[in-house]
Amino acid sequence: MRSILLLLLTASIAGAQPAPDAPDADALFKQGRELLAAGKFAEACDAFAKSDASDPEPATKLALGVCREKNHQLASAWRLYTEVVRELLSKTDPGSAQLARVAVTNANKIEPRLSKLTIEVSVEQRIPGLEIRRDGEAIDVAQWSQPVPIDGGTFTIEAGAAGRDPWSTHITVGRERDNQTVHVPSLVVHARREPTVPTPAARIGVVQPPREHAPRTLPIAFGVGAITLAGGAIVLELVGSRTYNKSQNEVDVDKQLSLWHTANGERYTAEAFGITAIACAGTAAWLYFRHHDEQRPRTAELVPTAAGFAIVGAF
């Protein structure tokens, strides 16, 4: 395994040994070290990224994380540090343990400086087929309405769905400690529609009886589920915060690493509960209002006009 000694005070990386099965990766890694030492951070990050793609190693990811941090890409650096920790948690050799400690230290150091972007999508706006993109890249539904760490810059946010007019906006996020929110509006239905053909039940002078009442069990069940999941999310978030604070005060590095990982797991579970609770609440609301809409009576009648006759009424 490619070894690495991270010198944080001098911002240099040294001690890499060639990997006989990945000469290209080793050459790129060496190139990245030289560029990093020369202060050419963008070029160094590109070399480390190519080295990691050729031969993935935790040491290379850690070096790339340091490079991203130097290049003011704090969110990218933080993700790389946490990825290194996840990869090395099951390792017991001294080299892996040292890399994991460095990654935890670096992640904890820059986490308070992260900028975050929240793309707010309310339950009412989550129509079937809705897709949201950031700079052309689809955003997972799990990240909707969640503050997501992001590198500073200007981004294009787009939303679209079949049968709706597309929407887009631009947002600028600072490099550090900036929190921005984009509210996605309800997408407007396309103005042009195909003419509808009246059903046989909507003939002249016919009053269509209300439809049978749909069962209300499902909306209630989903509503109860939403409340239960939301409560679980709050409890897990409090537990995760408590564990995280405990890790910050822990002197033993190994225990700090274990507590930090446990806190992250509790936070991720809380986020999953919260997202599922929102989905359940939205489903309950949709079922409830759909039921009421189906009870509206529909009538039609023939009315004389200057051009002849017209059908009017509630449909």
Angle between helices 58-70 and 74-88 (to 10 degrees): 160
CA–CA distance, 147 with 127 (Å, rounded to integer): 21
pLDDT tens-digit series, residues 255-282: 777 777 787 777 778 788 778 878 777 7
Q: 212: burial class by Cβ within 10 Å (0-12, 13-18, 19+)?
A: exposed
**Long-range contacts of range 43-47, CB-CB < 8 Å, 24 or more positions apart?**
45/71, 45/73
Of 27 and 250, the structure prediction assigns the larger pLDDT to 27
CA gap 246, 259 in Å, rounded: 7
Q: How many CA atoms lie within 13 A of 147 on its CB side?
A: 8
Helix, strand, coil percent values for the chain (each to nearest 5): 50, 20, 30
pTM exceeds 0.85 for this model? no
- Pair of tokens at residue 68: 């991203």
Least confident of 48-57, 160-169, 265-274, 290-299: 290-299
Q: Is the pLDDT of residue 10 over 70?
A: no
